[in-house]
Chains A and B, each alone.
Chain A
Amino acid sequence: MIKFQNVTKTYKGSTVALRDCSVDIDKGEFVFLVGPSGSGKTTFIRLLLREEMPDSGRIWEAGKEIGHLAKWRIPYLRRNIGCVFQDFRLLPNKSVFENVAFALEVIGRPKHVIATQVPQVLDLVGLTKKRDNLPHELSGGEQQRVAVARAFVNRPLILLADEPTGNLDPTTSLGIMKLLDRINRTGTTVIIATHDAGMVDQMRRRVIELDRGVLVRDQAHGVYGIDSATAAAGAGSPTGSMVEQAPTALSTNELPDSFAART
């Protein structure tokens, strides 16, 4: 699904953002991208969105090499990628429904598709009742759910999230993580860049750690930091994870048909 091969990216006049980074992410994986500020997480995301181009190395995404993608093809690449940010990036003058519908309108989806897909995805994120509210009438967690709905409404192959819980309290964050986990279970590859140690430790998913642009760790069922990794190992068993405790509770059965069909 995603393959980085010796990717290096340097910004003008500054330090190396990503150095000789090679990584493979398969279809349907759920990956945390961790590391301190300036470690290259955001660059990683921006390379996947083709907002940046690598200085050297090659990147494959959804079966295409994107390093040399013609400029006019970039929009079509992005239709396969959903994206969620720390600051939500909702349009303040549009309602919840319109915000989500906007993502389909601007890629030319017909009205009847919008009329069926938007309610489905609003149901998935649990905002059916707030469909006519404006973003400022919602809580932070709800706004991020709208952003997730917008990112997912076009059924992307990949969902990228850059610090999706950065502005949210732990309880709300957990809700967003569960939502992303649920989306992952429809077969969507989910990549989350985060600082949220507690969340990473709880979820016990693949962790890729970057430090000053270098990939320092790639662990299948990892935790946030080396410290917490040893702590967890010392405890003998991972600390309680809501998701891991009840993986079957989030099976595809409870998803709308169209989402289940993706798996």
Chain B
Amino acid sequence: MPVSAAYVSKEAATNLWRNRLMTVAAILTVAVSLALVGSSLLLKQGASKATVQWQNGVQAIVWVKPAAGATLTTSIGSELHQSPYIKSCVFRSQSYDYSEAKTILPADELDATNQADYPSSYRCVLNDPSQASQVYQQFTGKAGVASVKYPGQQIKTMQSVIRILQWVFLSVAVVLLLSASVLILNTIRMAIFARRREVSVMKLVGATNWFIRLPFMAEGLIQGLAGAAVAVLVVLALYFGIGLDTPKTAANQGSIIAQMSLGGWEVAGTCILVAVVGVVVGVVGSAFAVRRFLDV
């Protein structure tokens, strides 16, 4: 028998209103935890945008002139491998570097170049990161080498701060999400208790199990979604509030926020993820309550 959506939503709304104090508590907890999840995701995405070349422990980059040719490029590679400062190097082709540049360079700057003008590179991990300047001295000016770059103190600090923030945010968020599930479970347990007479009559006259369960499940779903909606607002406020929506241009290259600039799709993705987690938390909490306390 199909359960009508109107019936389910009406019953769920009645339950939520009857139990509004607990409902508000559950929604707020979901909202706070999901806001933390969402903002740490934004930060992480922004940070990886700003530091995309310095991922995976890369500590120095040797840019090879586009005109260097295969032989010269290979010889730079073998020289790097023999260098006492360098642990390992990965070669990145022109096409790889060009597509990476598309994600980090302002559009107006990139327009002036094409793939053939773009350098290939060696991404190197050092034996001792503090020796980056020695690598710089050794390879700068060599035949075929365009330039040698290593991350400045600013990037290193930013990476470590963001890493710490991320872990703090995520662990707080996980704890809060757990307590949100428990709060939702408890609201639904109370709703089930308040309606035990109705439930027993429903069972007696032959209402199907899903007919009895769905309003309670919907209740949890609504709480999760409402919390997620608040969290999405917080994420959007953060995004527009600190200017992560400002596109990168040649003029604002100095600003770290502009380096972290995120596109609409990335924010939309974060919001969708937040909503999905909200739904999961609500449904899991209510499913638990229904399994445990609704004897059908």
List B residues 176-207 near A (Cβ within 8 Å): 197-198, 200-207
Cα distance A136–B208 in the bound complex, in angstroms: 29
The A-B contact count (CB < 8 A) is 55
In the complex, the answer to whether B207 meets A106 with C-beta atoms within 8 Å is yes
Q: Is A60 an interface residue (CB 8 A)?
A: no
In the complex, the answer to whether A75 meets B200 with C-beta atoms within 8 Å is no
Cα distance A81–B205 in the bound complex, in angstroms: 8
Kindly identify which residue among B198, B203, B209 contacts A91, using a CB–CB cutoff of 8 Å.
Answer: B198
In the complex, the answer to whether B2 meets A107 with C-beta atoms within 8 Å is no
Q: Is B211 an interface residue (CB 8 A)?
A: yes
Cα distance A91–B196 in the bound complex, in angstroms: 10
The interface bits of chain B over 1-32 (1 if a CB of A lies within 8 angstroms of the residue's CB, else 0) are 11110010000000000000000000000000
Cα distance A79–B7 in the bound complex, in angstroms: 20
Q: Is A77 an interface residue (CB 8 A)?
A: yes
Cα distance A228–B26 in the bound complex, in angstroms: 63
For B201, what are the chain A residues with a Cβ–Cβ distance below 8 Å? 89, 91, 102-103, 106, 150
Q: Beyond A106-B202, A107-B1, A108-B2, is A75–B197 a contact (Cβ under 8 Å)?
A: no
In the complex, the answer to whether A75 meets B206 with C-beta atoms within 8 Å is yes
B: contact size bracket: 10 to 19
Q: Beyond A89-B200, A91-B198, is A103–B2 a contact (Cβ under 8 Å)?
A: no
Q: Is A190 an interface residue (CB 8 A)?
A: no
Q: Beyond A89-B197, A91-B197, A102-B201, is A107–B209 a contact (Cβ under 8 Å)?
A: no
For A102, what are the chain B residues with a Cβ–Cβ distance below 8 Å? 198, 201, 205
For B2, what are the chain A residues with a Cβ–Cβ distance below 8 Å? 108
For A150, what are the chain B residues with a Cβ–Cβ distance below 8 Å? 201, 205
For B3, what are the chain A residues with a Cβ–Cβ distance below 8 Å? 108
List A residues 78-98 near B (Cβ within 8 Å): 78-79, 81, 83, 89, 91-92
For B205, what are the chain A residues with a Cβ–Cβ distance below 8 Å? 78-79, 102-103, 106-107, 150, 154
Kindly identify which residue among B4, B204, B206 contacts A89, using a CB–CB cutoff of 8 Å.
Answer: B204
* Least CB separation from A99: chain B residue: B201
In the complex, the answer to whether B198 meets A75 with C-beta atoms within 8 Å is no
Q: Beyond A72-B209, A108-B2, is A78–B204 a contact (Cβ under 8 Å)?
A: yes
* Least CB separation from B197: chain A residue: A91
Q: How far is the CB of B59 from the nearest CB of chain A, in Å?
A: 62
For A103, what are the chain B residues with a Cβ–Cβ distance below 8 Å? 201, 205
For A77, what are the chain B residues with a Cβ–Cβ distance below 8 Å? 206
For B1, what are the chain A residues with a Cβ–Cβ distance below 8 Å? 107-108
* Least CB separation from B204: chain A residue: A83
* Least CB separation from B7: chain A residue: A105
For B197, what are the chain A residues with a Cβ–Cβ distance below 8 Å? 89, 91-92
For A49, what are the chain B residues with a Cβ–Cβ distance below 8 Å? 204
For B7, what are the chain A residues with a Cβ–Cβ distance below 8 Å? 105
Supply 12 further A-B pairs (C-beta < 8 A) apart from A76-B206, A107-B211. A77-B206, A79-B206, A89-B200, A91-B198, A92-B197, A102-B205, A106-B202, A106-B205, A106-B207, A107-B205, A108-B1, A108-B2
Interface set of A (CB-CB < 8 Å, partner B)? 49, 71-72, 75-79, 81, 83, 89, 91-92, 102-103, 105-108, 150, 154
**Can you list 24 A-B pairs with a CB-CB distance of less than 8 A?**
A49-B204, A72-B209, A76-B206, A78-B206, A79-B205, A89-B200, A89-B204, A91-B197, A91-B198, A91-B201, A92-B197, A102-B198, A102-B205, A103-B201, A105-B7, A106-B201, A106-B202, A106-B206, A106-B207, A107-B206, A107-B207, A107-B211, A108-B2, A154-B206
Interface set of B (CB-CB < 8 Å, partner A)? 1-4, 7, 197-198, 200-209, 211
